[in-house]
Amino acid sequence: MRRLLKQIFIVSCCWLGVSSVSAQNGADSSTQPLHVVTSIPPLAGLVYPLLDEFDTLNVILDAGRSPHGFQLRPSHMRELQQADFLLMVGTSVDAWMQRTAERTDIPELRLFDAAQTDWLLRRESGGWDREHHHGHGHGHGHGHGHGLQAMARIDGHIWLDIQRATGWIGEISLALQQLRPERAADFQAREQQVVASLMAAQQAWSEQLAPFQDQPFVVMHDAYQYFELRFGLNAVGAVYMNPEVAPSVRRIQEIRDTLVAQGVVCVYQEPQFPTDRLRSVLRGMDVGLGKLDPLGADGVLIPYEAFYDRLVQAFIGCMRDGNNP
Ligand SMILES: [Zn+2]
């Protein structure tokens, strides 16, 4: 983990790396660059450790924006059309990119399709019961062929499932190997490193999170189900019932009641959502205010493992210290 953390890049406009070598100026095929475009930052974090410094990597979602309700502008379309490879979540979260990708013949990978297995359904209410939803909230995802309605019922934040994300590294590596067969050995070697490191990290996170498994907490919007389930955490509700609609005064009051009734330890805000009203509700209450970033919203691209570590440490920070500004 420490080695990867050193690779943090600060980039403007979400570009990683500079294409200093190109096939046109006589470079041999083993250094033919790839231009990869992803919908949201955590996916860039998945593919980034597999790439070379002469490859380029671009994220479509603007820094700090919520992907819910996001729309592509013509500049995004141009960026997308220049890609050699598109990496998308494949759920309702980045439907805005899938629609455009469908009109191109650029090779793509949708992570939702990469492992066809049980998925969690979105939670309909804003208050949750751990025992209940873990027992029954499973849906089946089977790729493109199924209707928008079925897809809309699935919790689309699948990149927060650490176990599946580890499995996707192999899928992404395979796609890169097909695009640049002459570089296959490099991709494979990096894939093995990244997977081994993620598996070790998951073990460490499990141990770090274990003491907080029963502590009730509230999140800003329902994005963390896959995180909660893997680590056995106890989310009891979300402030936003719908991430595209600001909570009503009545909803805020309900949350206040939940905080008291459930003995909530932490409320986690998010960089993508305004929190003024929430802060006023929490004033005078003995509840910690933390911050979770499910997207890597600050425009700084980091490897997925570092992104996930930040999420885990932010979670623990509030649980342990009561706040995490
Ligand atoms: Zn979300």
Question: What size, in residues, is the chain?
Answer: 325
Gap from CA of 271 to ligand 1 centroid (Å): 12
Order of strands across the sheet that contains 35-38? 56-59, 35-38, 85-88, 108-110
pLDDT at residue 125, rounded to an integer: 76
Residue 216 is predicted with a pLDDT of 97
* 3-state SS string for 128-176: CCHHHHHHHCEEECCCCCCCHHHHHHECCCHHHCHHHHHHHHHHHHHHH
SS3 108: strand
Q: How far is the CA of 196 from the centre of ligand 1 (A)?
A: 28
Task: Report how far ligand 1's centroid is from the alpha carbon of 198 (Å).
Answer: 23
For residue 65, how far is its CA from the centre of ligand 1 (angstroms)?
A: 11
Measure 194 CA to ligand 1 centroid, in angstroms: 26
Q: Measured in angstroms, how far is the CA atom of residue 135 from the centroid of ligand 1?
A: 22
- Quote the ligand 1 centre to 172 CA distance (angstroms): 23
**CA pair distance 233, 108, nearest whole angstrom:** 34
- Give me ligand 1 centre to Cα 186, in Å: 34
| Span from the CA of 32 to the centroid of ligand 1 (angstroms) | 36
295 CA from centroid of ligand 1 (Å): 8
Alpha-carbon gap, residue 40 to 37, rounded angstroms: 9
User: Which residues, including other chains, have CB under 8 Å from residue 121's CB and lie 6 or more apart?
Assistant: 137, 138, 139, 153, 154, 155
Predicted confidence at residue 260, as pLDDT, reads 93
Rounded-to-integer distance, Cα 176 and Cα 178, Å: 5
CB atoms within 10 A of CB 100: 16
Which tokens go with 176?
């890169």
* Residue-level pLDDT at 1: 37
Q: For residues 63, 305, 115 and 155, what is the CA-based torsion angle, rounded to 10 degrees?
A: -50
CA 222 to centroid of ligand 1, rounded, Å:
7
Q: Would you state the pLDDT for residue 13?
A: 36
**Which residue ranges form the domains of the chain, and what is each CATH number?**
2-114+157-203 (3.40.50.1980)
In this prediction, residue 17 carries a pLDDT of 45
* Dihedral in degrees, nearest 10, Cα atoms 86, 88, 94, 97: 10
Tell me the C-alpha to C-alpha distance, in Å, between residue 82 and each of 31, 215, 300.
18, 47, 22
CA of 181 relative to ligand 1 center, distance in Å: 36
How far is ligand 1, taken at its centre, from the CA of residue 114, in Å?
20
User: pLDDT at position 245, please?
Assistant: 86
Q: Is the sign of the CA dihedral 7, 13, 16, 20 positive or negative?
A: negative
* 96 contacts: CB under 8 Å, gap ≥ 6: 39, 67, 70, 71, 72
Provide CB contacts within 8 A for 74, sequence distance 6+.
none
Cα(5) to centroid(ligand 1), Å:
25
Q: Give the pLDDT of the chain (325 residues) as one tens digit per residue.
A: 333 333 333 333 344 443 333 334 444 556 799 999 999 999 999 999 999 999 999 999 998 899 999 999 999 999 999 999 999 999 999 999 999 999 999 999 999 988 766 789 888 777 787 655 443 344 444 444 456 677 788 999 999 999 999 999 999 999 999 999 999 999 999 999 999 999 999 999 999 999 999 999 999 999 999 999 999 999 999 998 888 888 888 888 899 999 999 999 999 999 888 888 778 778 888 899 999 999 988 888 899 999 999 999 999 999 998 864 4
> Rounded to the nearest whole angstrom, what is the distance from the C-alpha of residue 324 to the centroid of ligand 1?
21
Distance 224 CA to ligand 1 centre (A): 8
Ligand 1 mean position, distance from CA 155 (Å): 9
66 CA from centroid of ligand 1 (Å) = 7
Quote the pTM value: 0.86
The pLDDT value given to residue 128: 81
- Residue 117 has a pLDDT of 65
pLDDT of residue 297: 80
